[in-house]
Amino acid sequence: MSEVKYSKEHEWLKLDGEIATIGITQHATEMLGDIVFVELPDLGSNVEKDGNAGVVESTKAASDVYTPISGEVVENNQSIVDDPAKINSDPENEAWFFKLKIKDKSELDSLMNKDEYDKFSKESAS
């Protein structure tokens, strides 16, 4: 399994060959609070790096989900649509959002590794 990468919008990305699995980070769920609704991008749709790729809503507010890289949506996780609370309990494993067939591997270069992201999220929280 390859290294996990992180975006400034608090998404994580795990690469497996041409396929990237994407979700939101633990830090993001802590900021959002209890998640009660999620909307995922349609299967087969093409999403653009840093563009909208779904919505999560907590009891308090709605927030956009962005995709850290471009690609075609080849799978989306219906289990989190049925039970959005999973996103709070296991955001960086079971509660992934969608899988992309990636378009341009070089887009990965702008993402952070775990240490960089931890530092970034700590700074942006304060």
| Interface segment toward another protein; rule CB under 8 A; list 13-21, 60-68, 70-78, 95-103 | 60-68
Instruction: List the beta bridge partners of residue 39.
Output: 55
| Residues 24-43, interacting with another protein (CB under 8 A) | 33-34, 36-37, 39
Q: How many CB atoms lie within 10 A of CB 101?
A: 14
In angstroms, the CA 15 to CA 84 distance is: 24
Does 124 interact with another protein (rule: CB under 8 A)?
Answer: no
Q: Are 43 and 73 in contact (CB under 8 A)?
A: yes
Question: Applying CB under 8 A, does 58 fall inside the site for another protein?
Answer: yes
Specify the residue, 23 or 54, whose C-beta has the smaller distance to another protein.
Answer: 54
From 16, 18, 51, 59, residue interacting with another protein (rule: CB under 8 A): 59
Task: Name the minimum Å distance from CB 61 to another protein.
Answer: 8
Q: How far apart are the first and last CA of the chain?
A: 33
CA distance 74 to 45: 8
Pick 43 or 85: Cβ nearer another protein? 85
